[in-house]
Structure 1
Amino acid sequence: MLVDHIVLGIIGLAPSSGYDMRAEVEKGSIGLLSALSFGSIYPRIKALVEDGLVRMEQEEKDGRKRKVYELTAKGWHELQRWLMEEAAEYPLPMRDELLVKLLFWGIAGADRSILREHLQARREESEELLNHIRGLQHDGITFVDEYTSLVFSYLQMRLESELQWLDTTRTKLLQEPELPSQDPRWLTVLQKARRKNALGEDDT
C-alpha cells in the first residue's frame, strides 16, 4: 500500500486541504487501517501535483483563502488502477507487541498476575476503540457508504473476537501454569537452568 494511493483515496472522497487530510489520517477511517502519519503523507502531495495526478485550487472559506487539492483525470485513473489491478498484500506479520511479550512470558519466569494486568489494559483500549468505531457510523459527520460499512463490520467483528479472547485468556491465567504441549528440544528445562545460572540462583 503506497502512501500516494492513500493520498489519492482521501482526496477522492472529497477535495481536501492539508488540514482535512490531517483530520482523516488522525481521526478518520484511514487512521484505523494504517500506521501512516500526516507528516509522512504531506510531502507526497507536492509530488502528486508535479506528476499531474492532483491539482491545487484556491478556495475561500469563512473569508479566508486556503489551498484545496483535487484529483485530475490522471489521478482518478491511477486510483482506479491501484484498486482494481494491484493485489493487496496479506497483513502479516501482525506486529503486535503484546502478543510478542506473550510468546516470551514463560521463558522469563515473569509474574502471571502482571500479564493479566497487561491484558486488562489491552481490553480497555480495544473496547474503547470498538465503541469509537460504532460511534463513527452514526455521528452524522463520517462518510459511510456500502464499502465503508463493510470495513467497519470487519473491524467490529475482529475487536469483538479479541475481547472474547482477552476474557478467556485472563481467566486461564488464574490457573496454575501448564507444561508445554510440545517441547521436543526440552527448552523449558534448559531455559530454567540457564536463567538460574545467569541470575546466580540456587537449585533449591
Structure 2
Amino acid sequence: MLDNLILGLLGLGPLSGYDLGKWMDGPGRFTGYRVTLPQVYRTLSKLVERDLVRYEIEPREGKPDAKVYRLTETGTQALLDWAHSPFEPAPRPMDPDFMLRFLLTGVLGRDYAISVLRTELDYRRAQVRNPTRVDEWVSALDPLDLIDPRWAATVLRAAHDQGRASTASYIGWLEVTLADFENRPDS
C-alpha cells in the first residue's frame, strides 16, 4: 500500500522523500496509515528501480541537496491501474486502506471519489444490518477465577457500544460526503 500512497502523492506534484515524510506526519496522519521516513526512502528506491518514479537533484542553499521525485509514464499508468481496480472494503470500519483509496483515487475525479464512497457505504450499511448478539455471547463466558464475569460483561458491552457508535458516526460521514459529492456540479 505504501507504493500506491507514494505514487498518489507524487501524482499531486514533485516531492522529496523528506516532503513525503512531512506529509505523513502532518496532514496524512489522520488517514490512519503510519510510516517512518526510512520506510519512505526504501520504498522510493524500489519505485526508482521499477521505473515508476525518477528523481532530480535539487540544490538547496544552506541545506543539503534534495532528491525530488516525479512519476514516470510507467508510474502514472500504475497509479491509474490501481485507481481503476475494484475497491473491496476491509471488514473493520474506518480501515486506513479506504481512506487512502478515497484520497488518492478521489483526487483523480468526482466519479472516482463517488465510486469509492458508495462502495464503502454499501458495505458498512450491510455490516450494521447484521445483528450483534453481545449479551448472548457475554452470557456464555466462563472466565478465569480472577475475572468477575459481571464486570467483564460490563466492559465488553461498553466496548461494543463504542464500536457501534463510531461506526454509526462513520456511516453518517460517508452519507453526507457522498451526497455532497453527488450534488456538486461537475468541475
TM-score, with length taken from structure 1: 0.46
TM-score, with length taken from structure 2: 0.50
Larger RCO (alpha carbons 8 Å, 6+ apart): 2
